[in-house]
Amino acid sequence: MQDKPFAASIDSTSFVPSRYDKHIVRTLSSMHGQFFDTDAYEHALHEEDRELYEVYFLERPNEIGEMACGTSILHPGKIGDEFCMTKGHFHSVMETAEVYYGLDGEGMLLMETPEGEWAAEELRPGKIVYVPPRWAHRSVNTGDKDLVVFFVFPAHTGQNYGSIEEQGFRKLVLDRGGKARIEDNPRWLPPEKRKRVEK
């Protein structure tokens, strides 16, 4: 981190920034309870704890007015009929937004509020998606190559899994006869029916 201007290049093959401060890799085992078809999940995990996605962050001080950015690379595939996806998160500072810009591949950004509103927007090259404050967000790869996005968020944001670790997102993105369909997640409960009270 530095107080002078800085730059990084994203090459159009690997999409790895030429400089970054943090790199996270999420494998199947980090997604316990997220995929709807738990048998298919356990079976896939038994075969190999394979990499689902990686994220490169250009970090900045945790201060209002600073922004963090980076790229997220989500591999294609399915667990049962469900397309591979990121874990998704709320922001710890709920009143902060996020901007996505699609660089490669195709998919969807699933979003929801703690109160149960939901939305989905397509992700593909040249697509801007605005995630307003309070909306959790999860990327889903519905294509056959890596889904790559450039993201920017206020640096004081933080991440918070909230209800996601207990019950996933309200909606699932499933392969129905070769088409991506959005369907209800039967495990999802509205806030008033949850055991744990949202923080």
Closest approach of a second copy to the CB of residue 143, in Å: 17
Q: Does 101 bind a second copy (CB under 8 A)?
A: yes
Closest approach of a second copy to the CB of residue 49, in Å: 31
> Which residue, among 123, 140, 127, 113, has the nearest Cα to 53 in the 3D structure?
140
| 26-34, 75-83, 91-99, 184-192 -> range binding a second copy (CB under 8 A) | 91-99
Of residues 106 through 135, those in contact with a second copy by CB under 8 A are: 109, 111, 117, 119, 121-122, 125-133, 135
Q: Does 84 bind a second copy (CB under 8 A)?
A: no
Whichever of 76 and 158 has its CB closer to a second copy, that residue is 158
Per-residue contact flags (x/-) with a second copy for residues 5 to 34, judged by CB under 8 A: xxxxxxxx----x-----------------
What is the rounded distance in angstroms from the CA atom of residue 66 to the CA atom of residue 68? 7
β partners of residue 141: 107
Whichever of 28 and 70 has its CB closer to a second copy, that residue is 70
Closest approach of a second copy to the CB of residue 83, in Å: 19
* Sequence-distant (≥ 6) Cβ neighbours of residue 47 within 8 angstroms: none
Given a contact cutoff of 8 angstroms between Cβ atoms, the answer to whether 97 and 137 are in contact is no
Give 54's DSSP letter: E
Closest approach of a second copy to the CB of residue 123, in Å: 9
What is the rounded distance in angstroms from the CA atom of residue 91 to the CA atom of residue 134? 7
Q: Does 67 bind a second copy (CB under 8 A)?
A: yes
β partners of residue 51: 27
What is the rounded distance in angstroms from the CA atom of residue 122 to the CA atom of residue 173? 12
Contacts 24+ apart (CB under 8 A), 186-194: 186/36, 187/36, 190/116, 191/114, 191/115, 191/116, 191/163, 194/163, 194/166, 194/167
Of residues 160 through 199, those in contact with a second copy by CB under 8 A are: none
| 32-40, 42-50, 95-103, 158-166 -> range binding a second copy (CB under 8 A) | 95-103
Residues found near a second copy in the complex (CB under 8 A):
2-12, 17, 58, 60, 63-67, 69, 93, 95-99, 101, 109, 111, 117, 119, 121-122, 125-133, 135, 150, 152-154
